[in-house]
Structure 1
Amino acid sequence: MIVVSSATSNTGSAVAEALLAAGEKVRVLGRDRNRLQRFADRGAEAVEARNDDPDSLRGAFDGAHAAFVMIAPGLIPGSTDYPAYQRRVISAHREALAAVPGLTRIVSLSGWAANYDGARGPVWGLRRLEEALDTLPGVEPTHLRPGWFMENTLPMIEEIRATGVARGLIPAGLPLPAIDTADIGQVAAGLLTGQRAARTRTLELQGPRDITLAEITAAIGEALGRRDARYEQIDAATLRDTLLAGGFSAHMADGTTAMTSDVAERRIAMTRPRDAETATSTTFDEFLARILR
């Protein structure tokens, strides 16, 4: 049995889909049983479980020989103490997984922010998750550190569709190691089943090439018939004000702005070159075509 935690998240669902497509016996976990139904319809066992509740998770992982885990949701806009939530999630998973006999493989979703010792905001807990899982006896975890998710462009698509202008803190010309979540799911599934092995405990992942927000904006504009589409860089104060206006707490607005600044100013960056192990195949144009069809 392979257990997929947070199976209704973008990445968790990609892992579950890849495992089911490979014919694996899968148990999917999530807070809402109804949102797990699409996996149950394909033969998965669906279990309602809270991400930050060790008692709930302990039973949910019973019988697993492999597990995919992550901190989800990755963002709680109204939170006033998101690190406290992350600590609860990490502790609950560590406690639950330690009690599972026969568990041999764990794959965690970390992120490229874990490359940076001073990571702030919503990505603060990624390195802490890795460190907690590393202490599990008898288990060799693999921590995936994917780069910039292509799904981050979904709000940009709607902005460009509505106004022709996308705004953000990251410079237009900064090369980003963009990656499709579906590709992360394929890598995780391969590691969980033993069809793939990682040379190191942490595995950076990135798409076939870096891409800038200027290129992304042009591609979205072309796809939407908005050839006037443009990207406008804003400053940190403007981003924070925008987040506050969108319903973020001051705590989450500050943290999200700090995290984005770390990307914009290259403190969060890849440390390994793109090669056969770290590169995935889906291009941004392919991702965009799938999203818009």
Structure 2
Amino acid sequence: MVTYVITGGTGKTGKTLALQLLQNGNKVRVVCRDAARAAELKQKGAEVFAGDNLDEKFLNNVFMGADAVYVVLPIDMQAVDYTATQVAHATAIKNAVVNQGIKFVVTLSSVGAHLDKGTGVILGLHKLEELFNEIPNINVRHLRATYFMENTLTQIQAIKNKGVMAGPENGHQKFALVAAKDISQVAYNNLHALDFKGKSVQYVLGERDLSYNEIAEVYGRAIGNPNLKYYQVGKDDFFSTMTQMGASRNAASKFYEFTQLINQGKVPGFYSRTKENSTPTSIEEFANSVFKSAFEGQ
């Protein structure tokens, strides 16, 4: 029996991945910050470890005797230095992997992680890849996923309060979006097979590239508002909204920096779409299931 460790085990990709591994008879250890959120996983047979990813002693205990690890860095919107916090988490996880002699690692990275500057929230994932690529005699697969469809759920409040979708992205600029469940499936395929060797990258790009104007049109139809529009907001309005939501100034600036890469049309240049790296869930399917349910409060 293979033993897997899933960091971010209650998150958008980790929980679905853990459930699928459990369903197929594997031993699964879930790392999370709040054990209560992992109740379903525990009921399904997962071992739940609640603790801090920065605590190497904690991680060494969790990783002991494991065969493979799925690495997801936590999002800390209150971090004084967003990138430094990402690197600290990545370093602690890397050290535990090395100490426990784990031979297979799948990381959740991002499109744009090949760049070493100017990528905002993605920069820490570039450093994550570097850290794990430094480990000798280990097999690492970096999943360079694109913008989560689930990120658009934050638009629900704007739609209900103001009747529009809004954000710092240019409404006409297309970029790739992917459903979290599709990332989980790609991670599962890799972890179930454990047939990847050395250090490698796999892109996970969703069904097609879309603009926010197109997303608004699809979402409007799904929620019975065919006239729903998207409006681009300025930097000051974006920062004001983010800080009102509890984000630090640094975290807000990192997110804004990445949106500017979208606005400059650079993001599609970070990847080459193929049949193999295009995943099945369309924005229409997501709109009529996840988005509609969340909008209706189900």
What is the TM-score of this pair, normalised by structure 2?
Answer: 0.90
SS in 1 for 2:13: helix
Pairing partner for 1:49 from 40, 48, 51: 51
Corresponding residue of 2:209: 210
1:34 equivalent in alignment to 2:36: yes
Residue type of the alignment partner of 2:162: T
1:270, distance to aligned residue in structure 2 (A): 4.8
Task: Single out whichever of 242-251 and 33-42 deviates more from structure 2.
Answer: 242-251
Q: Is the alpha carbon distance of 1:110 and 1:222 closer, same or farther for their aligned partners in structure 2, counting shifts above 3 Å?
A: same
Residue type of the alignment partner of 2:96: A
| Contact 2:140 2:197 (8 Å CA) reproduced | no
| Contact 2:82 2:254 (8 Å CA) reproduced | no
Corresponding residue of 1:189: 188
SS in 2 for 1:201: strand
1:100 equivalent in alignment to 2:100: yes
Q: C-alpha offsets along residues 194-252 of structure 1, whole Å, 9 cap, x if unaligned? A: 17758970111111211211111111111111222110112223322322333322222
1:63, distance to aligned residue in structure 2 (A): 1.2
Aligned partners of 2:241, 2:270: CA distance in 1, in Å?
31
Aligned partners of 2:269, 2:36: CA distance in 1, in Å?
37
Residue type of the alignment partner of 2:219: I
1:106, distance to aligned residue in structure 2 (A): 0.5
Corresponding residue of 1:279: 278
Corresponding residue of 1:170: 169
SS in 2 for 1:191: helix
Aligned partners of 1:62, 1:129: CA distance in 2, in Å?
21
Corresponding residue of 1:81: 81
Corresponding residue of 1:252: 251
Corresponding residue of 2:138: 139
Aligned partners of 2:287, 2:196: CA distance in 1, in Å?
30
Aligned partners of 1:211, 1:98: CA distance in 2, in Å?
40
Q: C-alpha offsets along residues 49-82 of structure 1, whole Å, 9 cap, x if unaligned? A: 3111111111111111111002112xx2322122
Aligned partners of 2:271, 2:256: CA distance in 1, in Å?
26
Task: Single out whichever of 225-234 and 235-244 deviates more from structure 2.
Answer: 235-244
Corresponding residue of 1:127: 126
% identity of equivalent residues: 29
| Contact 1:166 1:232 (8 Å CA) reproduced | yes
Q: Is the alpha carbon distance of 1:176 and 1:54 closer, same or farther for their aligned partners in structure 2, counting shifts above 3 Å?
A: same
| Contact 1:27 1:47 (8 Å CA) reproduced | yes
**Unaligned 5+ residue runs, structure 2?**
294-298
Aligned partners of 1:38, 1:29: CA distance in 2, in Å?
14
1:158, distance to aligned residue in structure 2 (A): 3.2
Matches within 5 A, 1:15-26: 15-26=17-28
| Contact 1:57 1:93 (8 Å CA) reproduced | yes
Q: Is the alpha carbon distance of 1:14 and 1:196 closer, same or farther for their aligned partners in structure 2, counting shifts above 3 Å?
A: farther
What is the TM-score of this pair, normalised by structure 1?
Answer: 0.92
1:27, distance to aligned residue in structure 2 (A): 1.0
Matches within 5 A, 1:104-115: 104-115=103-114
Aligned partners of 1:119, 1:280: CA distance in 2, in Å?
27
Q: Is the alpha carbon distance of 1:200 and 1:131 closer, same or farther for their aligned partners in structure 2, counting shifts above 3 Å?
A: closer
| Contact 1:14 1:184 (8 Å CA) reproduced | no
Q: Is the alpha carbon distance of 1:180 and 1:213 closer, same or farther for their aligned partners in structure 2, counting shifts above 3 Å?
A: same
**Unaligned 5+ residue runs, structure 1?**
none
Q: Is the alpha carbon distance of 1:199 and 1:96 closer, same or farther for their aligned partners in structure 2, counting shifts above 3 Å?
A: closer
Q: Which runs of 4+ in 1 moved over 6 A?
A: none
SS in 2 for 1:96: helix
SS in 2 for 1:286: helix
| Contact 1:172 1:233 (8 Å CA) reproduced | yes
Residue type of the alignment partner of 1:92: A
Residue type of the alignment partner of 2:46: A
Q: Is the alpha carbon distance of 1:200 and 1:274 closer, same or farther for their aligned partners in structure 2, counting shifts above 3 Å?
A: farther
How many residue pairs align between the two structures? Answer: 290
Corresponding residue of 2:74: 72
1:290, distance to aligned residue in structure 2 (A): 2.1
Residue type of the alignment partner of 1:168: G
Corresponding residue of 2:296: none
Residue type of the alignment partner of 2:80: T
